[in-house]
């Protein structure tokens, strides 16, 4: 019997409701899966054949410790999914620059560097962006993410400078279609498309996460959106799971995030989603070599 840890955070010691849907189909496939808090100091990770990262939703608050932990797992010959190199790469949103260099359309973004003095309002004016979103390069669940109109940009200058000197900052053009049409999340297991949801923000907000009143509905992407998302997943190393977040802008799908660490996978939104994920896990995970 395979034994795997579904890594979670102390906020969700028994996994999220969505992730618990995995337990039965895994058990039916002779896989013993159990929740494990990733930064539990007494956990014996060597007792598992693999660790599947799930709701580690505080990793961005303990970024260095999280990266050390996955390195220690690799050194102990405990498989990590997604893989340690992919997680390290995906943990900083600068990965978007690399994908853009490969021809992947992303939401228009500028990347101020630590030694570069930038007046936010002036830069937005130069770019012709009337609205923008300022966010840290290391972040999750819209942590320290702010929407700003150009006329109010000076009010975010202090935060902008703090982020620029610290974890790094990125500024993205605000896409009106997120509010008007919604944000797509397409889920892939083992590189194959599984299902999708369309996420919408509550009235008066731009954040689509449930934490801020957002909601999601099962939806079928157009052939164009699915083709674009598939190309994005194929542009990186093999994945156990991936979530492609993006928006359709002027008939083009633009990537907002490629989530490879701890994304909600919306397993409850499709009757076969948990079964598909469990099947891929049993195909990929093998007994740990001692």
- Domain with residue 35: its CATH number is 3.40.50.20
**Residue 117: how many other CB atoms lie within 10 Å:** 7
Final residue before a domain boundary, out of 139, 154, 173: 173
Residues 232 and 99 in one domain: yes
Predicted confidence at residue 138, as pLDDT, reads: 87
Average pLDDT over residues 46-61: 94
Which residue range is the domain that position 164 belongs to?
109-173
Predicted confidence at residue 232, as pLDDT, reads: 98
Residues 99 and 182 in one domain: yes
Can you read off the two tokens belonging to residue 279? 């099947």
Residues 77 and 204 in one domain: no
Residue 68 region by backbone torsions, left for phi larger than 0, else alpha for psi between -120 and 50, else beta: alpha
Pure H helices in the chain:
17-20, 23-28, 63-75, 84-90, 95-101, 120-127, 157-165, 176-180, 223-234, 273-284
DSSP state of 220: P
Q: Please check whether residue 267 lies inside any domain of the structure.
A: no
Residues 101 and 216 in one domain: yes
Q: What is the pLDDT of residues 143-186, one digit of tens each?
A: 678 888 898 888 889 988 888 887 789 999 998 877 777 899 99
Q: Please check whether residue 269 lies inside any domain of the structure.
A: no
Structural domain count of the chain: 3
- Is residue 203 over pLDDT 60? no
Average pLDDT over residues 192-200: 94
Predicted model pTM: 0.92
Q: What is the pLDDT of residues 216-247, one digit of tens each?
A: 789 999 999 999 999 999 999 999 999 999 99
Predicted confidence at residue 210, as pLDDT, reads: 55
Q: Name which residue leads in pLDDT, 206 or 120.
A: 120
Residues 99 and 225 in one domain: yes
- To the nearest 10°, the Cα dihedral for 35, 40, 43, 47? 50
Predicted confidence at residue 256, as pLDDT, reads: 94
DSSP state of 222: P
Q: What is the pLDDT of residues 266-285, one digit of tens each?
A: 999 999 999 999 999 999 98
Banded pLDDT at 15 (limits 50, 70, 90): very high
Task: Read off φ and ψ for residue 223, nearest 5 degrees.
Answer: -60, -35
Residues 7 and 46 in one domain: yes
Residues 100 and 227 in one domain: yes
Q: Coil, strand, or helix at residue 109? A: strand
Residues 77 and 117 in one domain: no
Final residue before a domain boundary, out of 173, 191, 223: 173
């Amino acid at each position: 019997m395979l034994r795997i840890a579904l890594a979670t955070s102390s906020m969700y010691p028994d996994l999220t409701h969505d992730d618990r849907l995995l337990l039965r189909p895994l058990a039916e496939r002779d896989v013993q899966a159990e929740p494990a808090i990733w930064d539990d100091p007494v956990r014996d990770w060597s007792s598992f054949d693999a660790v599947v990262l799930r709701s580690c939703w505080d990793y961005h608050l303990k970024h260095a410790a999280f990266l050390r932990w996955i390195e220690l797992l690799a050194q102990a010959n405990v498989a990590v999914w997604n893989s340690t190199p992919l997680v390290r790469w995906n943990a900083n949103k600068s990965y978007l620059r690399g994908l853009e260099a490969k021809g992947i359309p992303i939401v228009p973004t500028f990347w101020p560097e630590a030694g570069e003095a930038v007046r936010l309002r002036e830069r937005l004016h130069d770019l012709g962006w009337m609205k923008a979103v300022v966010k840290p390069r290391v972040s999750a669940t819209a942590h320290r993410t702010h929407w700003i109109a150009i006329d109010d940009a000076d009010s975010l200058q202090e935060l902008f400078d703090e982020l620029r000197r610290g974890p790094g900052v990125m500024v993205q053009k605000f896409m009106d279609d997120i509010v008007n049409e919604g944000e797509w999340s397409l889920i892939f297991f083992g590189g194959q498309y599984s299902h999708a949801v369309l996420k919408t923000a509550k009235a008066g907000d731009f954040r689509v996460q449930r934490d801020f009143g957002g909601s999601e509905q099962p939806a079928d992407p157009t052939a164009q959106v699915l083709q674009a998302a598939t190309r994005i997943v194929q542009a990186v190393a093999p994945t156990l799971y991936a979530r492609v977040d993006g928006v359709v802008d002027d008939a083009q799908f633009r990537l907002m995030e490629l989530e490879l660490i701890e994304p909600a996978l919306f397993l409850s939104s499709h009757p076969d989603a948990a079964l598909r994920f469990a099947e891929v896990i049993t195909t990929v995970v093998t007994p740990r070599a001692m």
